Amino acid sequence: MNIIIQLVLRINNGAIEKNDRIRRINSKIPGPKGLPFFGNILAVRGNRHLKYQQYYKEYGPVFRVKYGTIERVVLTGYPILKEAFIDHAELFQPRFLRENNIIVKLYSQQKFKGLIFSNGDYHKNLKSVILSELTATKIKKMEVHINEESKRLCELLEKRANEGKEFVMNKYFNLFSINIILRFLFGINYPYDDLNESSVEVIEVIQRFFKLLSEPVLSDYLAFPHPFPERPREFYRCFRKLAKNILKLIGNYKSKRSSTGSDEHGAIIDKLLIELEKGNITNMGLVSICVDVLIAGADTVGQTLMFSFIAMANDQSIQEKLYQTLNAAIPPNEDYSYSKYKLTIPYLSLVVKETFRKYPVGVLGLPHMTTEDVVIGGHTIAKGTQIIQNLYASHRSEEFWNQPDEFIPERFLEKDVGTLHHFAVGPRNCLGYSLAECEVTSAIATLIRNFNFINPNPTQPLNDEGDFSIALIAPQTKLLVKKRHNLVL
């Protein structure tokens, strides 16, 4: 017993000493004063991205906040993010992992290792395996499926248009993006005639999982191993549900593969199964990786689309101009094709860029960590500090954008326009960016060609303020849709 107590004390002392060093070095970085023990954790509850926007205005592009004993430095604006994540890429690349966090412990054990919370060669290898399935050529090959999903969405919307009633749009976009990720991962899509119970459940579990993952918990305050629960039970319930679904899909995929005798279906899972056979990942690791790609890829695109349509329903002139541009560029009986038209319909690109600018749904990215002491923007940041990319505040700052809170696609025609970085900056940025761009552009083009999206109460602009989560959540939004003509299907 004595030995165990001594061991725990030694670990505690090690952690406390390490934290003291970080605190000492970071103490010169400006930032809000915090409460003893809690630091700033109570002040940033709720819409954290708005609080960080306010801190950026008060303290500048490099500011420090404390989450209990965790030292967090927040970087805002492309120039400072570039200085850190590109000019010092190696020092800022790793994911921040709390050593005493159970999830992180689980994830970092070989058995459960996923993608998002791994580092080093394991992460590098996995990222390149998955990226090899998301090249421009692969995406072009999959375009037919993306168009199919867009058309299915149109068919559902046609029913709503025929009813002539307003309806909540959000879950349709979520289903669209989940289906595309499932196509890339497993070569399948979620069966739906409309929003049935099981599809809605998957959407809700993914959103809840993200939300729970983004909420600070008691363990955030503590620098040492402890017995307190890390996350509410609901978190594990969500993970188990997702894992169960994924295991079923992997099982189905394997039996389909053995029944057809084919080795190559062109889905990401093919490549991951090879990694499993080589012993580079475990069975549970495979599940964690699939959960990571599913949650990272589904909610982000769904929320982005919802924000875009809210903006366009609030400004009919943008929607009308886009509709006319698309009509002029694409023959009436031809589908929109991303690979064919992405460079030839400038106004569509402007609308997509402005969507990503005004609504960078990965608002604070995912936490990174410094591997050495480093000077950024004139401030010394200690080795081991948690680093956050303040993407929302960067994209909404008057320093880089004129009228940043307005939706103005034409801003990208100006000469000295800011730099978009909604997929984060540096080599550890979003793995799905090419797919996301293709999905968002294709869905906007196909839907706007076929429907007019209307705010049912035009005297009151639709709310476009999101609710903080790892992927900003768009408000539940009721729209009216009107068919433009016979659908281009």
By CB under 6 A, name the binding residues for ligand HEM.
115-116, 127, 292-293, 296-297, 300-301, 304, 361-362, 365-366, 422-424, 428-432, 435-436
How far is it, in rounded angstroms, from Cα 198 to Cα 178? 13
Least distance between ligand HEM and beta carbon 3 (Å): 38
116 close to 95: Cβ distance less than 8 angstroms: yes
How far is it, in rounded angstroms, from Cα 110 to Cα 9? 27
Report the residue number, 202 or 436, with the smaller CB distance to ligand HEM: 436
HSE value, Cβ hemisphere, 13 Å, CA-based, for 324: 6
Least distance between ligand HEM and beta carbon 196 (Å): 23
For residue 85, list its beta bridge partners.
Answer: none
Burial class (CB in 10 A: 0-12, 13-18, 19+), 200: middle
Least distance between ligand HEM and beta carbon 118 (Å): 8
Least distance between ligand HEM and beta carbon 178 (Å): 11
Report the residue number, 330 or 447, with the smaller CB distance to ligand HEM: 447
For residue 348, the one-letter residue type is L
Tokens of 357: 């600018």
Report the residue number, 118 or 477, with the smaller CB distance to ligand HEM: 118
For the stretch 152-160, contacts whose Cβ atoms lie closer than 8 Å and that sit 24 or more positions apart, written own/partner, are 152/176, 152/179, 152/192, 153/443, 153/446, 153/447, 154/446, 154/447, 154/450, 154/451, 154/487, 154/489, 155/487, 155/489, 156/194, 157/447, 157/450, 157/451, 157/481, 158/450, 158/483, 158/487, 159/194, 160/481
Report the residue number, 74 or 436, with the smaller CB distance to ligand HEM: 436
Q: Name which of 386, 341, 335, 347 is nearest 365 in CA terms.
A: 386
Tell me the residue length of the chain: 489
Least distance between ligand HEM and beta carbon 368 (Å): 6
Report the residue number, 230 or 292, with the smaller CB distance to ligand HEM: 292
Report the residue number, 411 or 422, with the smaller CB distance to ligand HEM: 422
180 close to 146: Cβ distance less than 8 angstroms: yes
By beta-carbon distance, which residue lies closest to ligand HEM?
A: 432
Least distance between ligand HEM and beta carbon 198 (Å): 22
430 is in an annotated binding site: yes
Least distance between ligand HEM and beta carbon 435 (Å): 5
Least distance between ligand HEM and beta carbon 219 (Å): 21
In this structure, what are the phi and psi dihedrals at residue 81, rounded to the nearest 5 degrees?
A: -65, -35
How far is it, in rounded angstroms, from Cα 118 to Cα 95? 7
Count helices and strands (H / E) in the chain. 17, 9
204 close to 174: Cβ distance less than 8 angstroms: no
Report the residue number, 61 or 114, with the smaller CB distance to ligand HEM: 114
Least distance between ligand HEM and beta carbon 181 (Å): 6
Q: Name which of 172, 111, 199 is nearest 446 in CA terms.
A: 172
Report the residue number, 23 or 265, with the smaller CB distance to ligand HEM: 265
HSE value, Cβ hemisphere, 13 Å, CA-based, for 18: 18
Least distance between ligand HEM and beta carbon 352 (Å): 10
Report the residue number, 304 or 319, with the smaller CB distance to ligand HEM: 304
Report the residue number, 139 or 462, with the smaller CB distance to ligand HEM: 139
Left, alpha or beta for 377 (phi > 0: left; psi -120 to 50: alpha)?
left
Binding residues for heme: 430
Binding residues: 430
